[in-house]
């Protein structure tokens, strides 16, 4: 058994969890800051097309440093230009809402080339060690099997053939596994088919009636094996060479003197992000498989005095039934108030985007919006409450 130092074990555990990515509040705040600055410039540049384009490009470049989707990035830039052109109503409260949306977005994962490199090397190294371990265990099992077995001679009495089809445009080949007959130490006759099949110039490698070596456990002659390198040792040696090669090459990249110093500095610099890997692990699993139903991201694409249009990215579990919808209501400190209504959006299973129009039929103020996913006739499935301050004004006609 190879004993690893505690620091090495911690290093492996840390980067194993980091394979799924990480996001810290500090990193997100660093990205949101230039985005909000660009939004402020859009407001200050209203009426100036040139300044507006510069501010929108600042937002565009800031979001390119993240893993946010191209669609969401373009939506941020489009909203900036709308504010700049006075086609999107803007008040100080809108900026606070945008900042909350930025900070609460699940898509703001930071691009990090070194992190990607370390994650890939760590994954390859771990896989290599696992394969190498099974290879060593296989050799131990084969050695123990040969030590406890009885050796004898067997006779090839027939062949079992199989045809391997070639790739497109090439012909296949027929391989032959010898059927071997032997007598155990009590004189009883047994037959078995060798586990390794092959051919020599299209013909069986072992000729009929040829004598070959056979080994079998004394009390279990039905477990007899063809005593040859390919039959007993090929798989263990393949696992050792394959696993050892991957573990060695990736290990040099991880634990070389110069590389280790760089990795150690990286760990110290990104300690806050590493501390949040448990939450990141669960989040990435939710993002990669639509088993759980949830609202992933949201944004306001239109706003007037008495209504807003919310666009939300969602995932809907394939195990849910039909007639699934998304709706929204206004809340004040978690409690429903005012008179409101919404136009629901019908959802499709898997990943998708939906638009919900939330409107007020009275004048009041709220500071939250609850997005809900529900099945018609069967009640709610999922809810997400998001911060959004607005004083709704129902204009009289």
pLDDT, tens only, 125-164: 888 899 999 988 888 888 888 888 888 888 888 887 776 6
Mean pLDDT of the chain: 76
pLDDT digits (tens, 9 = 90+) for 305-314: 889 999 998 8
Give the DSSP H or E segment for 343. Answer: strand 340-343
Residue 191 has pLDDT above 80, yes or no: yes
Give the pLDDT score at 359: 92
Report the chain's terminal Cα–Cα distance, integer Å.
Answer: 83
Q: Find all residues with CB under 8 Å of 351, minimum gap 6, and list them.
A: 290, 313, 314, 315
- Binning pLDDT at 50, 70 and 90, where does residue 222 land? confident
Give the pLDDT score at 309: 92
Give the pLDDT score at 87: 66
Calpha distance 229→196 (Å, rounded): 10
Give the pLDDT score at 308: 92
Contact 31, 108 (CB under 8 A): yes
- Binning pLDDT at 50, 70 and 90, where does residue 6 land? very low
Give the pLDDT score at 251: 80
The structure tokens listed for 374 are: 């529900």
pLDDT digits (tens, 9 = 90+) for 309-330: 999 988 888 878 889 999 999 9
Contact 312, 298 (CB under 8 A): yes
Q: What percent of the chain has pLDDT over 90?
A: 8
Give the pLDDT score at 373: 92
Neighbours of 7 (CB within 10 A): 9
pLDDT digits (tens, 9 = 90+) for 88-99: 666 666 777 777
pTM of the model: 0.43
Calpha distance 102→387 (Å, rounded): 11
Calpha distance 279→235 (Å, rounded): 39
Calculate mean pLDDT across residues 221-226: 84
Parallel, antiparallel, or unpaired for β 211-217 and 149-164? antiparallel
Query: What domains does the chain contain, in order, with CATH numbers?
Result: 24-108 (no CATH), 148-235 (no CATH), 294-392 (2.60.40.10)
Calpha distance 197→190 (Å, rounded): 20
Distances (CA, A) of 346 to 152, 287, 299, 324, 368: 73, 21, 18, 6, 23
């Amino acid at each position: 058994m190879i004993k690893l130092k505690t620091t090495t074990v911690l290093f492996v555990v840390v980067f194993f969890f980091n394979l799924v990515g990480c996001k810290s509040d500090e990193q997100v705040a660093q990205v949101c800051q230039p985005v909000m600055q660009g939004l402020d410039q859009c407001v200050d540049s209203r009426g100036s097309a040139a300044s507006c384009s510069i501010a929108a490009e600042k937002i565009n470049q800031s979001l390119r440093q993240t893993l946010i989707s191209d669609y969401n990035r373009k939506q941020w830039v489009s909203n900036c230009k709308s504010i700049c052109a006075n086609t999107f109503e803007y008040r100080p409260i809108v900026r606070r809402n945008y900042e909350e949306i930025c900070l609460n977005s699940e898509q703001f994962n930071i691009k990090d080339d070194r992190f990607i490199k370390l994650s890939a090397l760590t994954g390859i190294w771990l896989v290599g060690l696992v394969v190498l371990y099974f290879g060593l265990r296989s050799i131990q099992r084969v050695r123990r099997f040969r030590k406890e077995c009885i050796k004898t001679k067997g006779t090839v009495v027939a062949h079992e053939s199989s045809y391997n089809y070639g790739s497109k445009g090439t012909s296949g080949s027929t391989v032959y596994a010898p059927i071997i007959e032997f007598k155990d130490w009590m004189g009883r006759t047994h037959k078995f088919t060798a586990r390794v099949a092959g051919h020599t110039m299209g013909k069986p490698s072992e000729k009929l009636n040829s004598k070959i070596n056979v080994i079998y456990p004394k009390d279990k002659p039905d477990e007899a094996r063809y005593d040859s390198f390919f039959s007993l040792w090929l798989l263990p040696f393949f696992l050792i060479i394959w696993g050892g090669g991957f573990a060695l090459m990736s290990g040099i990249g991880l634990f070389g003197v110069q590389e280790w110093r760089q990795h150690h500095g990286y760990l110290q610099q990104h300690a806050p992000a590493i501390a949040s890997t448990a939450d990141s692990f669960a989040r990435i699993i939710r993002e990669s498989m639509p088993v759980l139903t949830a609202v992933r991201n949201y944004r306001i694409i239109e706003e007037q005095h008495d209504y807003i249009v919310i666009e939300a990215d969602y995932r809907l579990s394939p195990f849910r039934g039909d007639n699934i919808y998304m709706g929204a209501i206004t809340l004040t400190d978690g409690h429903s108030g005012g008179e409101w209504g919404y136009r629901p959006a019908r959802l499709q299973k898997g990943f998708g985007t939906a638009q919900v129009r939330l409107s007020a039929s009275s004048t009041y103020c709220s500071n939250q919006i609850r997005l809900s996913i529900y099945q018609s006739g069967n009640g709610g499935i999922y809810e997400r409450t998001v911060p959004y301050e607005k004083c709704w004004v129902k204009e009289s006609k």
